[in-house]
Amino acid sequence: MLFGTYRANLRDTETHLRTLREMKQAGRIRYSGITTSFENQYPEFEQTIKKETLDFIEVDYALDNRNPELFSA
């Protein structure tokens, strides 16, 4: 099962990631990560990527939206 913390919907990312880590350690989930499609969240998103151990990340990246290239993780 794949669970993610969607930054657009969840306000307390640290708490949610802690809960997901506990679920992962208990064997209830296999993967966890974060995603966002809002440019104003990229700086905080980048900080989270540097601070947390994540199995996946997802950003809105397409031919018409290459703005994630402005940030490096």
Q: Which residue has the tokens 């969840």?
A: 10
Per the domain annotation, does 67 fall within a domain? Answer: no
Q: Containing domain of residue 37, as a range?
A: 2-53
64 found inside a domain: no
CB-based contacts of 43: which residues, under 8 Å, 6+ apart? 71
- Identify whether 58 is part of a domain: no
Count up the domains in the chain and report the number.
Answer: 1
| pLDDT value of residue 68 | 59
Q: Looking at residue 5, what is its pLDDT?
A: 52
**Residue 35 resides in a domain:** yes
Task: With respect to residue 68, please indicate whether it lies within any of the assigned structural domains.
Answer: no
Per-residue pLDDT tens over the stretch 16-63: 889 989 999 999 988 888 887 777 787 888 888 899 999 988 876 666
Q: Is there a contact between 44 and 53 (Cβ–Cβ < 8 Å)?
A: no
Instruction: Specify if 48 maps to a domain.
Output: yes
